């Protein structure tokens, strides 16, 4: 039988059972759309994180606590640390790290902020004015605090866009006061801060950390007035140029090893990461995340493939007499095999195409209604089509072979 005729016969058979074919296609559609949608979201989140890390500059280094590679987002969010403000002061001392342009400590903690009758739980980060230049994060209202505010531990603050909206609505908060409550080991502490600026919106860091839900204060204010501790969550170092990164890293490691009294054979209790290291870590994390999400979608696709096999087996049973008649009239085993394989592939290919459209719609919805900009990869689309065809072949081969092996006499006697 010519292949074109085989396709026509297969399509006619599917058209005779539209509801069954539609339900089978739906299973494959859900599986393919799950793979494409989830992978697109994971890729979008990865692009956001890597874009933000590249924006920090090729001459940036980040010191975090722990001997392993620590997530910079986790350090920024606030965790226990072996680093102190004294470490940052030592690194920034003249001649300590000759090729370091500026050293920026960050001390973070979660607080309850109150303005009038409105209360909002948020995050406070104590740092220096250089923080603005490092993260390219400037006020849209008011101004950043100054070095003098760090020297005097002034009770001043900059509000993230979300905090300003939650506490003050559409009103200008500059010049107004915010009460910040933090629970130390000795008990709760409340500090009254004067708002000197509102930061420009930055959005989410890959959907994991809302950077606009933040209050930034001088590092001395957070240490002496609020947190009551000297430990910091991270220390950022700007080298004078990208070519000096290696020398800055070696000098900083030597100095911190001496300050922490670590011998040459002892493991470090801190980690110094460059932008390249952070990008590699972010890429690895994103790849693992993408694989896990792809596996979840793959399970849905596998279930759809089982549905295809089930429907094809039912079809073989129902059409046993038809198969026997066709064989009696001269149809060869490969003609029967090819027809049922074509039916299975048509079902899964149709489901794959609809799944691509549904997955693209999911990616669009994620981009429109969430902080993550989902990226629809052409490679994922091509792979989805190939997987759809493969599912049809893999899960259709057994029913097709079963149909092809039927003996004409036995098939014609079937009721």
* Long-range contacts at 246-249 (CB < 8 A, ≥ 24 apart): 247/99, 248/61, 248/97, 248/99, 248/100, 249/61, 249/274
> Does residue 162 share a domain with residue 79?
yes
Which stretch, 254-258, 358-362, 381-385, has highest mean pLDDT?
A: 254-258
Longest CA span, the chain:
100
Residues 89 and 196 in one domain: yes
Chain CA centroid to CA 131, Å: 25
The CA-based angle 218-54-76, given to 5 degrees, is 35
Pairing of strands 214-218, 156-159: antiparallel
Average pLDDT over residues 16-21: 73
d(CA 206, CA 42): 9
Q: Residue 145's pLDDT band (boundaries 50, 70, 90)?
A: very high
Of the residues 228, 246, 268, the one at which a domain ends: 268
Whether 274 is in a domain gets the answer no
Q: pLDDT-based confidence at 79, cuts 50/70/90? A: very low
What band does 266 get if pLDDT is binned at 50, 70 and 90? confident
Task: Name all contacts of 132-138 with Cβ < 8 Å and 24+ positions apart.
Answer: 133/102, 134/56, 134/57, 134/60, 134/102, 134/104, 134/236, 134/238, 135/55, 135/56, 136/55, 137/199, 137/200, 137/202, 138/199, 138/200
* In a shared domain, residues 294 and 159: no
Give 75 or 52, the one with higher predicted confidence: 52
So what's the pLDDT on residue 57? 53
Residue 251 maps to a domain = yes
pLDDT band at 73 (very low <50, low <70, confident <90, very high): very low
Q: Are residues 327 and 365 in the same domain?
A: yes
Stronger pLDDT, 380 or 184, i.e. the higher one = 184
Give how far Cα 361 sits from Cα of 38, 135, 174, 365, 388, Å.
12, 34, 42, 6, 19
pLDDT for 222 beyond 60? yes
Average pLDDT over residues 407-412: 56
Whether 66 and 269 have beta carbons less than 8 Å apart is answered as yes
Asked whether residue 61 is domain-assigned, the answer is: no
What is the rounded average pLDDT of the residues 66-89?
Answer: 63
The reported pTM is 0.59
CA distance to 198, 223, 290, 356, per residue, from 295 (Å) = 43, 46, 9, 17
In this structure, of 159-168, 215-224, 250-259, 276-285, the range with the lowest mean pLDDT score is 276-285
CA distance 173 to 195: 6
Domain shared by 217 and 293, yes or no: no
Total of domains in the chain:
2
Contact 134, 72 (CB under 8 A): no
DSSP H or E run through 386: helix 378-404
Going by the DSSP 8-state scheme, the letter that residue 200 receives in this structure is: P
Q: Is residue 229 part of a domain?
A: yes
Q: What is the pLDDT of residue 16?
A: 67
Q: Residue 358: its pLDDT value, please?
A: 85
User: Would 89 be classed as within a structural domain?
Assistant: yes
d(CA 65, CA 80): 8
Do 339 and 291 share a structural domain?
A: yes
Nearest residue to 399 (alpha-carbon basis) of 327, 328, 330, 336? 336
Q: Say if strands 187-199 and 156-159 run parallel, antiparallel, or are unpaired.
A: parallel
Q: Which of 226, 246, 268 is the last residue of a domain?
A: 268
pLDDT of residue 199: 95
Q: φ and ψ at 319, to 5 degrees?
A: -110, 25
What local confidence, expressed as pLDDT, does residue 255 receive? 92
Host domain of residue 111: 67-268
CA distance 361 to 380: 14
Asked if residue 164 and residue 73 are part of one domain, the reply reads yes
Q: How far apart are the C-alpha atoms of 87 and 103, rounded to whole Å?
A: 10
Instruction: Show which of 268, 291, 307 is a domain's final residue.
Output: 268
Q: Whole-angstrom Cα distance, residue 57 to residue 74?
A: 20
- The DSSP call for residue 240 is S
For the four alpha carbons of 236, 238, 239 and 242, in that order, the dihedral sign comes to positive
Are 144 and 183 contained in the same domain? yes
Least confident stretch, 38-42, 63-67, 124-128, 277-281: 277-281
Answer yes or no: is 222 within a domain.
Answer: yes
The reply to whether 39 falls in a domain is: yes
Residue 58 within any structural domain of the chain: no
Q: Are residues 39 and 73 in the same domain?
A: no
Cα–Cα dist 383/390, whole Å: 10
- On whether both 222 and 307 belong to a single domain, the answer is no
Residue 106, C-beta contacts closer than 8 angstroms, at least 6 positions apart = 75, 76, 125, 126, 127, 131, 219, 232, 233, 234, 235, 236
- Same domain (yes/no): 142, 186: yes
Do 264 and 227 lie in a common domain?
A: yes
Confidence grade of residue 74 (pLDDT, cut at 50, 70, 90): very low
- For the segment 274-323, what is each residue's pLDDT rounded down to a tens digit? 766 665 666 676 667 667 766 766 676 677 777 777 777 776 666 666 66
């Amino acid at each position: 039988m010519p292949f074109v005729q085989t396709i026509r016969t297969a399509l006619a058979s599917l058209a005779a059972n539209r509801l069954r074919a539609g339900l089978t296609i739906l299973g494959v559609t859900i599986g393919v759309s799950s793979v494409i949608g989830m992978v697109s979201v994971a890729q979008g989140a990865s692009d956001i994180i890597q874009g933000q890390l590249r924006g920090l500059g090729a001459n940036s280094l980040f010191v975090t606590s722990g001997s392993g590679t620590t997530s910079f987002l986790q350090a920024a969010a606030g965790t226990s640390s072996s680093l102190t403000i004294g470490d940052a002061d030592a690194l920034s001392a003249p001649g300590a790290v000759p090729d370091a342009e500026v050293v920026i400590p960050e001390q973070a903690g979660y607080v309850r902020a109150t303005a009038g009758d409105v209360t909002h739980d948020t995050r406070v980060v104590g740092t220096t004015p250089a923080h603005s230049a490092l993260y390219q994060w400037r006020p849209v209202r008011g101004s950043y605090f100054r070095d003098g505010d760090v020297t005097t531990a002034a009770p001043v603050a900059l509000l993230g866009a979300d905090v300003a909206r939650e506490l003050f609505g559409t009103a200008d908060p500059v010049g107004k006061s915010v009460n910040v409550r933090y629970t130390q080991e000795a008990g709760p502490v409340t500090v009254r801060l004067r708002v000197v600026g509102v930061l420009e919106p930055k959005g989410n860091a890959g959907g994991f950390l809302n950077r606009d839900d933040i209050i930034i204060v001088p590092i001395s204010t957070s240490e002496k007035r609020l947190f009551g501790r000297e430990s910091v969550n991270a220390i950022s170092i700007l080298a004078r140029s990208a070519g000096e990164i290696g020398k800055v890293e070696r000098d900083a490691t030597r100095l911190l090893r001496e300050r922490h009294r670590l011998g040459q054979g002892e493991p470090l209790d801190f980690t110094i990461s460059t932008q390249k290291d952070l990008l590699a870590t972010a890429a690895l994390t994103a790849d693992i995340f993408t694989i896990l999400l792809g596996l979840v979608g793959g399970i849905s696709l596998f279930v759809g493939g089982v549905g295809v096999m089930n429907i094809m087996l039912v079809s073989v049973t129902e059409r046993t007499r038809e198969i026997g008649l066709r064989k009696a009239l001269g149809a060869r085993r490969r003609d029967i095999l090819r027809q049922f394989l074509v039916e299975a592939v048509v079902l899964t290919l149709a489901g794959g195409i609809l799944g691509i459209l549904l997955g693209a719609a999911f990616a669009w919805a994620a981009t429109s209604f969430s902080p993550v900009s989902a990226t629809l990869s052409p490679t994922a689309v091509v792979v989805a089509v190939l997987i759809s065809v493969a599912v049809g072949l893999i899960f259709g081969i057994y029913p097709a072979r079963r149909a092809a092996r039927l003996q004409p006499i036995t098939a014609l006697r079937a009721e």
